Amino acid sequence: MEAVLSELEVALGHGFANPDLLVCALTHRSLANQQLTESVSNAPQTGSDNERLEFLGDAVLGLVVGEALFLLHPEWNEGELTRVRAQLVSRQHMADVATSIGLGEHLRLSRGEDRTGLRRKSTVLSNTMEAVIGALFLDGGLEAARVFVRRFVMGDVVEQLAEELRSGAALGNYKSALQERLQAGQTGTPVYKVKSESGPDHRKRFLVEVRVKSGEGQPGKPLARGTGSTKKHAEQDAARRALARLANAAFPASSNEEELGVE
């Protein structure tokens, strides 16, 4: 066990003064339940699984990422900070971080769950990564957690996300970006409406228009139109075109397709 922990400590960049914290962070509830059921006396006992540490680690992760983004990007507004933080603390990204340090190899699972391949599942990896961050915080304080998060969770990813924000891509979600853009300017909220459908069922094309709904509740001037093979794709395309238009001009005065950017 000590050799296994030592290997993981090297990957984490932190030597634990209380190794039991790391053992607990690695212990899935399936193993804790198995040990209680079988009363295994010769196995390392943790007394609990990692779910409480996961709860703590989630809070520490949000704090450290939020602090770093706040300091690194004073030009970002609340919406931009929130979107980037959401990407960095997302389940998939945290699972990727766990994979990068080989965390799955160190998980402590029941025999049954180990056979199912649970140690490779993104949800388990993400949750365990948060538990480990909680253990880092308890063992080495906020600075230990901060060093790990900034190196492995943030790293170069922050600049990639920053570039997406600068390009107006809104991290792949144009609808969210448009809504935040309009709300920030106290203009209103976007409203999407399907204008037409064409093509056979297996090759549908949707034309969607996005307008701004004012505080009075009435849809205002149209911003843009977009097309796509599904309603959702067409809405995203309309939002993308609206963002591009807002970046260069005021709201369009009419709703003809040429002015709204439909090709």
Distances (CA, A) of 56 to 106, 142, 154: 20, 12, 19
Residues 105 and 17 in one domain: yes
Band of pLDDT at residue 218, cut at 50, 70 and 90: low
Q: How many residues does the chain have?
A: 263
Active site residue 58: yes
Do 199 and 79 lie in one domain? The reply is no
Do 157 and 57 reside in the same domain of the chain?
Answer: yes
Among the residue ranges 39-48, 127-136, 253-262, the one predicted with the least confidence is 253-262
Express each pLDDT in 34-68 by its tens digit.
666 665 445 444 458 899 999 999 999 999 999 99
Given the residues 49, 54, 58, 235, select the one marked as catalytic. Answer: 58
Give the domain extent around 29.
2-165
Residue 255 belongs to a domain:
no
159-170 pLDDT, tens digit per residue, is 878 877 766 554
Catalytic residue among 49, 54, 80, 130: 130
Whether residue 1 is predicted with pLDDT greater than 50 in this model: the reply is yes
Are 80 and 154 within one domain? yes
When divided into structural domains, the chain yields a total of 2
Checking if the pLDDT of 32 tops 80, the result is no
Residues 42 and 113 in one domain: yes
Q: Does 100 share its domain with 13?
A: yes
